[in-house]
């Protein structure tokens, strides 16, 4: 396996450190300390996730501008959409700064958000919480298919390669698949409250690594030396 580039050395190091800390909290039995400290609401992990998602949106926005300069207008719109989605996810992660600035939710969110916060992923539709349905198992499945299945299939099936390149999808590498798979196993094994905050953080780090240096460099020039 080739040596990680400088950006990946930093990003993967942060991901490994967060997983190691999570494992140590679990093995030592510091359950409450994990909940009230490392993974707490508005804590270091949650804010780090929001920051990495935001930086990912900036990287994608830059790539969208590059596509526009090259006259690839479909790719420009698609990558611009991806940038918006990551910007949106960043804001959702911290409820758009509501707890930081102390402003109140309007009537709709006060009545339909189970945490009374201004965000969509905690909305209750009927008796279903979006955080546990659309933003939970469904999104996790899609992300794992993207991170694990796509890099394994991209260079093996021409139709997969053509589909990903047509939609201007930054393709993960095997290093991203390995990290995503390993993180999924560890998070599934540990029994800690708010462990999913660490899982989200790892995914945000992987996403930034992918967008900086995707596998399909024919579609996206890497921003760092590989």
Q: How confident is the model at residue 104 (pLDDT cuts 50, 70, 90)?
A: confident
The rounded distance, in Å, linking the Cα atoms of 11 and 226 is: 14
- For residues 83-99, give the mean pLDDT: 87
Q: How confident is the model at residue 87 (pLDDT cuts 50, 70, 90)?
A: very high
Burial class (CB in 10 A: 0-12, 13-18, 19+), 32: exposed
Provide CB contacts within 8 A for 139, sequence distance 6+: none
Selection from 127, 143, 145 nearest residue 135 by Cα: 143
The rounded distance, in Å, linking the Cα atoms of 205 and 56 is: 9
Is residue 122 over pLDDT 70? no
């Amino acid at each position: 396996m080739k040596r990680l580039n400088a950006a990946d050395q930093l990003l993967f190091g942060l991901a490994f450190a967060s997983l190691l800390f999570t494992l140590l909290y679990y093995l030592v039995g510091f359950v409450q300390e994990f909940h009230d400290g490392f993974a707490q609401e508005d804590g270091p992990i949650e804010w780090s996730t929001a920051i990495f998602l935001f930086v990912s949106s900036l990287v994608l926005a830059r790539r969208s501008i590059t596509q526009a300069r090259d006259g690839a207008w479909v790719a420009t719109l698609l990558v611009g959409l991806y940038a918006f989605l990551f910007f949106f996810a960043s804001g959702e992660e911290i409820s758009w700064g509501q707890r930081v600035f102390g402003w109140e939710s309007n009537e709709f969110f006060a009545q339909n958000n189970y945490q009374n916060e201004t965000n969509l992923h905690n909305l209750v539709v009927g008796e279903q919480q979006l955080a546990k349905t659309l933003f939970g198992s469904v999104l996790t499945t899609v992300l794992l298919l993207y991170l694990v299945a796509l890099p394994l299939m991209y260079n093996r099936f021409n139709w997969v390669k053509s589909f990903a390149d047509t939609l201007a999808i930054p393709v993960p590498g095997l290093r991203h698949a390995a990290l995503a798979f390993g993180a999924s196993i560890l998070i599934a094994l540990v029994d800690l409250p708010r462990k999913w905050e660490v899982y989200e953080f790892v995914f945000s780090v992987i996403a930034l690594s992918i967008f900086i240096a995707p596998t399909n460099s024919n579609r996206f020039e890497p921003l760092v030396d590989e």
